[in-house]
Amino acid sequence: MSSYLVTVGVHAVWREFALIPIALLLCGSAPRLFAQERVEVGIFLDYLSISQTNTNNFGVGGRFGYRIHRKLTMEGELAYDYGINFHEAYRNITNGDITAVERTSIGVTHGLFGPTLQPDKGRFRPFVSLKGGFMDFRLSPSLVPLSTVESTLLGIRTSSLNVAMYPGAGAEASLGPVGLRFELGDELYFNSGAHNNLRITFGPILRF
């Protein structure tokens, strides 16, 4: 009977000691698991001020990022800004005089992809970004279909899909995997020259 109690006691002690390295292993792996958070997804409200049409366009978008280095993430995003009405001028092609002003609607689809540089730790993390992509303008049909006049926006009417470049900066405030992101930048598109357009986005993010 006593030998049985001794055997049981020895096994109990071994079980207690066996739990120690397991606990240490779990504790040591927790920071590594947290550090392996490589993906960030988010949705945002989008504000875009188009210089050529002098319109303030609002829309929605989504963003996906994958961290390829401790402080470097590759991000892709797509947004659509709803059609806004503005006054489009038409001029006489012979003398250049304005001959008509019509109401036109414009919507913009734009997609961007590129690197974002950001600290990998902290609840408040500023960042800078440089992306390239496209801007696709959707204008309502011309209301003056005459051969003697042309729109002052002839460039984006005849070539609505344009190459774009976007330098931007902002900050993320997070609590655990959930946070908010604010970003401000200049979305340039190239159509008979470069056109600067103020862009602001704001929305929730999720990191995992």
Q: Rounded to an integer, what distance in angstroms lies between the CA atom of residue 174 and that of residue 46?
A: 20
> Cα-flanking dihedrals φ and ψ of residue 159, to 5°?
-140, 80
Provide the pLDDT for residue 147: 75
**Backbone φ/ψ region at 61: left (φ over 0), alpha (ψ -120 to 50), beta:** beta
**pLDDT of 164 above 90:** yes
Q: Rounded to an integer, what distance in angstroms lies between the CA atom of residue 187 and that of residue 82?
A: 17
**pLDDT of 20 above 70:** no
Q: Rounded to an integer, what distance in angstroms lies between the CA atom of residue 191 and that of residue 207?
A: 37
Paired strand residues for 100: 90
One-letter amino acid of 89: A
Provide the pLDDT for residue 185: 98
Tokens of 51: 């210089």
Q: Rounded to an integer, what distance in angstroms lies between the CA atom of residue 13 and that of residue 140?
A: 80
Give the percent of the chain with pLDDT over 90. 59
**pLDDT of 68 above 60:** yes
Provide the pLDDT for residue 11: 47
Provide the pLDDT for residue 36: 59
This prediction's pTM: 0.78
